[in-house]
Amino acid sequence: MLQLITSYSLSQVPYITYDALDHYAEALVGDAIPETLAAPAILDVGRFIEFYLDMTVEYKRISSDRNVMAMTAFNAGIVQVFDDSGTKPIPLIVKEGTLIIDPILMEKRNAARCRFTFMHEASHWILHRLAFAADNPFGSPGVFENQYLAAKEGRIDYSRNTRERNDIERIERQADFLASAMLMPKTTLRMAFKEFFTYYDERPHTIYRGRNEMDDQFALLLPEFVADRFGVSKRAALIRLEKLNAIVGSLRLRCGTAQYNLMFS
């Protein structure tokens, strides 16, 4: 696997810009499955995770109320999972690099959500192993636990334009962004972007909500088109397009969004 070269905080959380994460995501995907960068396509997440990252996947119910849908084990040990009914706790022996996924995500209706969850957890493994190392003296007790990281519902929304208040918010935003960038690499997303406008016999351009009726329609249709081409949710596609300033909220670029453009960089 291609290694990330960057600086780290005292607690071993990487300092890295979204722009650098974008380049790293494309390098990873190109190294793992080169054909993915030839044209817009759905990333084979199973091949990426199990064969490129050499992670082990376990399909277990992690919490009785399904508040936790996925978990990454950074160190070998025992985690508590549940039987199918969610009533009986069961110990599960895991090795370093085990990804635990709730089986409900494997249902067809959850395909896009499952794919993103897989890549979110893979992103933690790629970016945050040092932070969760058993010998890291600066891991936050009760949060890092120097063992496992659970992905809970309602985690930090990386699309918001607010500064991270702590390491957990930072690593969740990083994992969300890297997952999105690997599922929708900038090179092939640009191809899809141009393909979309070609279909409507329009010149590719940044879509400004509120400029005219056509752009307002494009702002609704483009995320659907991208979601279908890359096998992600419409929301994930929309956030990715907004991060790249392919769709903006008004005639002025919103403060805090990435200062690079899908079409021209």
Rounded Cα–Cα distance for residues 156 and 109 (Å): 24
As a whole number of Å, the CA-based R_g of the chain is: 19
Give me the pLDDT at residue 260, please.
52
Query: In terms of Cα–Cα distance, which of 140, 170, 137 is closest to 155?
Result: 170
CB 261 within 8 A of CB 244: yes
Dihedral in degrees, nearest 10, Cα atoms 107, 35, 182, 265? -140
Give me the pLDDT at residue 254, please.
46
Give me the pLDDT at residue 169, please.
85
For residue 1, give the 3-state DSSP assignment. coil
Give me the pLDDT at residue 249, please.
84
Rounded Cα–Cα distance for residues 129 and 91 (Å): 23
Residue 77, phi then psi, degrees to nearest 5: 170, -155
Give me the pLDDT at residue 135, please.
80
Beta carbons within 8 Å of 101's beta carbon, 6+ residues apart: 57, 58, 59, 60, 69, 70, 114, 117, 118, 121
> What are 158-204's pLDDT values in tens digits?
444 445 567 888 999 999 999 999 999 999 999 999 999 999 999 99
Give me the pLDDT at residue 157, please.
47
> What are 47-77's pLDDT values in tens digits?
999 999 999 999 999 999 998 899 999 888 8
Rounded Cα–Cα distance for residues 66 and 107 (Å): 15
Per-residue pLDDT tens digits of the chain, which is 265 residues long: 999 999 999 889 999 999 999 999 999 999 999 999 999 999 999 999 999 999 999 999 999 999 889 999 988 888 899 999 999 999 999 999 999 999 999 999 999 999 999 999 999 999 999 888 878 877 654 444 445 555 444 343 444 444 556 788 899 999 999 999 999 999 999 999 999 999 999 999 999 999 999 999 999 999 999 999 999 999 999 999 999 999 998 654 444 444 455 654 4
β-strands 247-248, 207-208 pairing: parallel
For 94, other C-beta atoms within 10 Å of its C-beta total 24
For residue 206, give the 3-state DSSP assignment. coil
Q: What is the DSSP string of 100-165?
A: EE-GGGGSGGGHHHHHHHHHHHHHHHHH-TTTT-TT-TTS-TTTTTTSEEEEETT---TTS-----
